[in-house]
Structure 1
């Protein structure tokens, strides 16, 4: 049985838990689950992308609630925490002490400005790249930044969903 067939056959409670590990917004998980059965992987990912695109701002904030600050290690033994640690691990290895300190300051400034954690698709990025993005995004107005955050949350959810499918 292929990954999509296994995905389609998962009991509702297990599927919900798996999807919430990809994106902690219950509306996202419910929307993806409601589209079952899927014919193929492309369909699953398209449903996830579509679900990300229609999240309300309060739903995006629910999704953000599960993300640690950039540069902070996610705690716990959940799948979501493991993915978060993996996504940030390469960046953490590329940072020097000055960059780490500047990222802490940028995180603080970002949270003061926007009222939530700085979220970025960290996979494949160095801490210097993440720091530059944080500084740049501090110049965004609220509407622009909300759109950016929603997009970044969707990219992270998609990557995690791909990993989930690969593990099935």
Structure 2
């Protein structure tokens, strides 16, 4: 898809395209309403501006659109929403040792229990061991800090997906 097609797409088509990048309905609605975009940079700027002005509930909605890293069942169920642009983002998990996967699953469960949302990390280019180290480093945080960390990781993810779009 190019910028011209995105700008001239129907509301439904544009909604579908932006939903591939981020599953926050408030973010998607604002991105659709922000059309037409003059250039790539204006899309990226709008995406970040909208994201910065959302509420916690909107962030949590976006996080729910992600599978848990290392959880194959969740990957299958949740990847359906974003699979067009998200393919390959967690491919490094496929090469992980069994112990790293077990530790990721345990860490994700601990993270979810502590914060009430799944561990979000921009997984592109990271091995499972690297993601496990990041998860372990972030687990001691308080919820406010971790919400900010997760929101920043979500921004990285939607920016990568916007580039693919």
CA distance in 2, matches of 1:85, 1:105: 24
Matches within 5 A, 1:28-39: 28-39=27-38
Judge conservation of contact 1:25–1:59 (CA < 8 Å) in 2.
yes
Report 1 or 2 for greater relative contact order, CA contacts < 8 Å, sequence distance ≥ 6: 1
CA distance in 2, matches of 1:83, 1:20: 10
Matches within 5 A, 1:68-147: 68-73=67-72, 74-75=75-76, 78=80, 80-93=82-95, 95-147=96-148
Cα deviation, residue 92, structure 1: 2.5
Inter-CA distance 36–84: structure 2 relative to 1 (3 Å threshold): closer
SS at match of 1:117: coil
Cα deviation, residue 82, structure 1: 4.5
- Match of 2:2? 3
SS at match of 2:90: helix
- Give the TM-score, by structure 1 length: 0.89
Cα deviation, residue 90, structure 1: 2.3
SS at match of 2:20: helix
- Alignment gaps of 5+ in structure 1: none
- Match of 1:25? 24
- Give the TM-score, by structure 2 length: 0.91
Number of residue pairs matched? 162
Cα deviation, residue 114, structure 1: 0.6
- Alignment gaps of 5+ in structure 2: none
